[in-house]
Amino acid sequence: MKALWRNRSVPVSRHLGWVALAGVVVLGTFLLQLVPYFALPAPLLTIVGCIVVWSLSTRRTAPLSQTVELVPRPYGLEVRSAGASIFELRGKDLQGASLCDGDGGSVDVTLTHRDRAHRSFVFEGLAREDVEAFRHALALPYGGFGGAMFPQGPRPGVPGLGVAFASLLMAGCNAFLAATSVAVDMPTAFMVMATMCAVAYAAFLWMLLMLTGTPRHIAPYCALSASGLRYFAGTARDVAYSLIASARVAGENVAVHLRNGQVLLLPLGTLVPAERANFARQLTSAVERGQRADLPPTVDEALTRLEREPGEPLRAWLLRVDSLAVMPSGESTYRHMGVSEQELWDALEDPDTSEDVRIALARRLGRTSPSAYARVQAMTERLHGDDNRLRMRVAMATDLAQVPERAGDLLQLVYR
């Protein structure tokens, strides 16, 4: 599987490079204390130099993108580029995932990782024939789960805040040293400078490194959740998907048109145009899923979702069945069934219901309580044919989390 990995993390070496450059500026202005006529302007040079570094570090650049190969593994996916492994992506580390139609008939996947929860990243251009393998590797339900998050408005560079604070500290130290060099003889001033330089420079680097490693979750953001869109306009505000009519890119903003005629402009200037277009597609897809979920399905329509698709592997089918919230309590997800429990029991015990649907209902209903399990077991004994009873028991008892991937073929043989 190949895809374009967009908005990948900036290497730590780039952040440390700005820290090192700021350190060189501060150390250089310290050494200017030894040069005649430069002792007094040194504090001003410290401030100017740190402002220049700060402006360079906050300059907006396009997020890094890279074409990668996604290789399914027993633990999830391995992301590779040029034959080398970049990182491992595990389903248990994901806080959110969303799928939508991309350009040219492909599929885009937005993922929110727990180690980078403040900004989601995107795999664009995933071939449709690879979607099932991608979902299966990460155990993703159809449509996704959780939420996606993107920064809203301008965002400072990682070391920029540290430079702003530390430059004032260093300027104060330089001013003190400049006054000392004027008040006392040069040897004494040099000793004072050497001591202050070591202490202040160490404090400067410590402050920058601490700020570099601290995630910034307080910046404004736009988030797609199961219930609606969250954005910042002074404070966090939520808009239900049922209130949204459409979304499209408008310059550096994404315009969200509400059904009452109001238009929300979400400032997403930190994203490149391709990312803003992806955000609009993800939002449109979430709105469509939410609208489908709001429509009360008939019993037959709901049960059709449980049918095993032609050629669908057994493990993939059972994973899909497990991802559907068959009970009314699942209304917080995109794919709740919306059918009463009694109607599900009626369908399970109806001999005219297809075998696949009865097996799927037995797997889900039989796990709700011990009494429900006993009721399903009693119904299983009434099935005609040993093969039907065996398939029902296998589907009910199989815990996919405890079955290794390599055992899928054996499971398929037993089920048949």
Residue-wise pLDDT for 258-272, tens only, equals 988 888 888 877 677
Averaged pLDDT for residues 18-29: 70
Lowest mean pLDDT among 138-152, 161-175, 217-231: 161-175
pLDDT band at 140 (very low <50, low <70, confident <90, very high): confident
Question: What is the pLDDT confidence band of residue 33, given thresholds at 50, 70 and 90?
Answer: low
Per-residue pLDDT averaged across 345-374, rounded? 82
Burial 3-32 (b: 16+ CB within 10 A, else e): bbbbbbeeeeeebeebbebbbebbeebbeb
pTM of the predicted model as reported, rounded to 2 decimal places: 0.49
Task: For residues 109-138, give the mean pLDDT.
Answer: 77
- Give residue-wise pLDDT tens across range 233-252: 667 788 888 888 888 888 88
Among positive and negative, which fits the CA dihedral 14, 19, 21, 24?
A: negative
Q: What are phi and psi of 50, to 5 degrees?
A: -70, -35
Q: pLDDT value at position 338? A: 59
Q: What is the mean pLDDT of residues 375-400?
A: 74
CA–CA distance, 73 with 388 (Å, rounded to integer): 33
Q: Output the pLDDT for position 410.
A: 45
pLDDT at 30: 67
Q: 266 near 152, Cβ under 8 Å?
A: yes
Statement: residue 50 has pLDDT above 60: yes
Instruction: Give the model's pLDDT for residue 100.
Output: 78
Give the span between the Cα atoms of 20 and 40, in whole angstroms: 25
Cα–Cα distance list, 208 to 13, 99, 162, 202, 216 (Å)? 14, 38, 5, 10, 14
CA distance linking residue 335 with residue 324, whole number of Å: 6
When mean pLDDT is compared across 72-81, 258-267, 377-386, the lowest value belongs to 377-386
Structure confidence at residue 118 (pLDDT): 62
CA 249 to chain centre: 21
What is the reported pLDDT for 159? 45
> Given this model, what pLDDT does residue 188 score?
58
Q: Which helix (H) or strand (E) holds 122?
A: strand 121-126
End-to-end CA distance of the chain: 30
